[in-house]
């Protein structure tokens, strides 16, 4: 079945791969980029099936205008893909106030505002699907990615709550959590000047490993993109879509450890209820 998609951040990485794949299979795409020239080759090939607009998701008013224009021009949008993001790489003490603000403005507030702009249009048309690109880093953490993890954990919480709010309108969400993949992600990292005091710490170890190319990157972005597309055919929508063997293993280990830690404190948790509270019978 042919669908119409709205995708942010299509200049490279998953956004570009999604756009290419969808157009090749006959779908229509409303794509946003920082520079229109990034998709000129696709526009020349696919014509009216590709609608392109420039967008910086940190500009909330522009987000609203572009989302409205996309719906108006395409008539209907079946799937919104919130993909635009980047990673700030550095220890928390190393990054600047401006870098922190831009990381949160892009990955959290930008994603929130795209969703907020799309919801009334999806509600009016009777429903739709939203894919929120997160990361294995929305469930696990690495030193030197503290601000990036902040944004991914934050947007996952936002999506989980909003999904409950709009479920009665047949609007469904899937949080996509890819592991390391052979994309341009590493080349897009923003790094502050390193502090020597962190050289012999886990942050320094991660910095050296990344610089040496020692991180395993098992993910095939084309296969991951296909899994994202296939997820839209599943009903109900999967709440999360973890992609990559490395991501699966690490996320599972993290969740298992959290459950074990929670269970180990069960007696403490129960002991802090008010004396006059009586839980309902199961």
Which residue among 152, 198, 231, 250 is the active-site one? 152
Q: pLDDT band at residue 184, thresholds of 50, 70 and 90?
A: low
Do 106 and 84 touch, CB atoms closer than 8 A? yes
DSSP letter (8 states) at residue 194: P
Which residue among 134, 135, 146, 231 is the active-site one? 134
Domains by residue range for the chain, with CATH: 4-245 (3.40.50.720)
| Catalytic (active site) residue 152 | yes
Which residue among 11, 135, 142, 148 is the active-site one? 148
- For residue 187, what pLDDT is reported? 63
Q: Give me the percent of the chain exceeding a pLDDT of 90.
A: 86
Quick: pLDDT tens for 53-99.
999 999 999 999 999 999 999 999 999 999 999 999 999 999 999 99
- For residue 48, what pLDDT is reported? 95
- What is the average pLDDT value for the chain, to the nearest integer? 94
Residue 219: burial class (beta carbons within 10 Å; 0-12, 13-18, 19+)? buried
Q: pLDDT band at residue 216, thresholds of 50, 70 and 90?
A: confident
- For residue 71, what pLDDT is reported? 98
Quick: pLDDT tens for 12-60.
999 999 999 999 999 999 999 988 889 999 999 999 999 999 999 999 9
- For residue 182, what pLDDT is reported? 75
Q: Give me the percent of the chain exceeding a pLDDT of 70.
A: 98
Residue 92 backbone phi and psi in degrees, to 5: -55, -35
> Nearest to residue 116, comparing CAs of 42, 166, 73?
166
| Catalytic (active site) residue 134 | yes
Q: pLDDT band at residue 215, thresholds of 50, 70 and 90?
A: confident
Q: pLDDT band at residue 211, thresholds of 50, 70 and 90?
A: confident
Do 123 and 167 touch, CB atoms closer than 8 A? no
| Catalytic (active site) residue 148 | yes
Do 131 and 228 touch, CB atoms closer than 8 A? yes
Residue 123: burial class (beta carbons within 10 Å; 0-12, 13-18, 19+)? middle
């Amino acid at each position: 079945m042919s669908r119409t998609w709205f995708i942010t951040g299509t200049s490279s990485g998953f956004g570009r791969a999604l756009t290419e794949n969808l157009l090749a299979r006959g779908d229509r795409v409303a794509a946003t980029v920082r520079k229109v020239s990034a998709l000129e080759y696709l526009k020349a090939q696919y014509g009216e099936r590709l609608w392109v607009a420039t967008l910086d998701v940190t500009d909330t008013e522009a987000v609203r205008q572009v989302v409205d224009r996309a719906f108006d021009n395409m008539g209907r949008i079946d799937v919104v893909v919130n993909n635009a993001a980047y990673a700030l790489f550095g220890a928390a003490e190393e990054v600047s106030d401006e870098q922190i603000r831009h990381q949160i403005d892009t990955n959290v507030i930008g994603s929130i505002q795209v969703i907020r702009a799309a919801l009334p249009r999806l509600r009016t048309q009777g429903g739709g699907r939203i894919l929120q690109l997160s990361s294995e880093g929305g469930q696990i953490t690495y030193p030197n990615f503290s601000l990036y993890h902040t944004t991914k954990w934050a947007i996952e919480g936002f999506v989980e709550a909003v999904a409950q709010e709009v479920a009665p309108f047949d609007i469904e969400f899937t949080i996509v959590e890819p592991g390391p993949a052979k994309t341009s992600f590493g080349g897009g990292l923003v790094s502050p000047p390193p502090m020597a005091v962190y050289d012999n710490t886990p942050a320094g170890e991660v910095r050296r490993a990344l610089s040496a190319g020692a991180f395993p990157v098992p993910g095939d972005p084309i296969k991951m993109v296909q899994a994202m597309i296939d997820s839209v055919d599943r009903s109900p929508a999967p709440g999360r879509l973890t992609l990559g063997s490395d991501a699966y293993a690490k996320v599972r280990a993290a969740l298992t450890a959290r459950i074990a830690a929670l269970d180990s404190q069960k007696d403490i948790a129960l002991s802090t209820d008010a004396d006059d509270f009586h839980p309902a019978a199961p």
